[in-house]
Amino acid sequence: GNSVTQMEGPVTLSEEAFLTINCTYTATGYPSLFWYVQYPGEGLQLLLKATKADDKGSNKGFEATYRKETTSFHLEKGSVQVSDSAVYFCALLYGGATNKLIFGTGTLLAVQP
């Protein structure tokens, strides 16, 4: 079946450090891939997306590239800020009539000043 695997957290970094959060997926066909972010006490916010192989999604300094050969969609940011502290979810949307998002378990990022 379709699934998403994320690196376990928490990930603790100092401000201005480089961030990578790994995400790999299993799916038949060609899903769209998403990163959502959840700040404490809030719902999910779309961070970025990619809909086909080799697409790069980017937003607010975060980037992720859809790698079909490695079935990966790793999230990166060159210089994290304290305000980036949140839980990050990788998700896939399978094509066809099924419109549900399948999420990973989330990765907690804590950025220290």
Q: Residues in the site for another protein, rule: CB under 8 A? A: 4, 30-32, 34, 36, 42-46, 49, 51, 89, 91, 93-106
Rounded to the nearest whole angstrom, what is the least distance from the CB of residue 46 to another protein in the complex? 6
Rounded to the nearest whole angstrom, what is the least distance from the CB of residue 49 to another protein in the complex? 6
CA–CA separation, 105 vs 113, rounded Å? Answer: 26
CA–CA separation, 84 vs 78, rounded Å? Answer: 12
Q: Which amino acid is at 110?
A: A
Closer residue to another protein in complex, CB, 2/17: 2
Rounded to the nearest whole angstrom, what is the least distance from the CB of residue 51 to another protein in the complex? 5
Closer residue to another protein in complex, CB, 17/108: 108
User: Exposure of 21 by Cβ count < 10 A (0-12 exposed, 13-18 middle, 19+ buried)?
Assistant: buried
Nearest to 90 by CA among 42, 47, 28: 47
Closer residue to another protein in complex, CB, 31/64: 31
